[in-house]
Amino acid sequence: QSALTQPPSASGSPGQSVTISCTGTSNDVGGYNYVSWYQQHPGKAPKLMIYEVNKRPSGVPDRFSGSKSGNTASLTVSGLQAEDEADYYCSSYAGSNNLVFGGGTKLTVL
C-alpha cells in the first residue's frame, strides 16, 4: 500500500497557526476514524499528539488539533512555539489489520 501524502515542509512564525495535511484514499484516511499524528524531534522517538482524528492524549497542549474531511486529515498547530519545530507524521488504519504512515512534514518555526 502507498504511504499517505504529506507536504515535505511547512513553516510559520511564533504565535501563528500552521496546518499540515495528510492525504490518503477511501481505503484508509477516508474510510476510518483512526488517524493519528506524531511529533518527532531529531534523534528522538515519535510522540503521539492526536489519535482517532481529533483526540488529544493527556498532556498534549490544546494548541494541537486534528480534523478530517473526506480522504484528507489535517493537523493544526496554533500559537506556534519554538519547541514545535519537529517532524510530524500522520498514520491511518488501512483495513485488513494494516497501518500506513505518511512521509512526514518538517515544521520550521521561523
Partner 1 sequence: QVQLQESGPGLVKPSETLSLTCTVSGGSISNYYWSWIRQPPGKGLEWIGYIYNSGTTNYNPSLKSRVTLSVDTSNNQISLRLSSVTAADTAVYFCARGFCSSSSCSRFQFDYWGQGAQVTVSS
Q: Which residues bind partner 1 (CB under 8 A)?
A: 1, 3, 34, 36, 38, 44-48, 51-52, 55, 57, 89, 91, 93, 96-104
Residue 51 DSSP class: B
User: In whole angstroms, how close is the CB of 5 to partner 1 at the nearest point?
Assistant: 11
Q: State the minimum distance, in angstroms, from the CB of residue 14 to partner 1.
A: 27
Report the nearest approach of partner 1 to the CB of residue 67 (Å): 17
User: What φ, ψ does residue 38 adopt, rounded to 5°?
Assistant: -125, 145
Closest to partner 1 by CB, 9 or 16: 9
- How many other C-beta atoms lie within 10 A of the C-beta of residue 72? 17
Contact of 52 with 35, CB cutoff 8 Å: yes
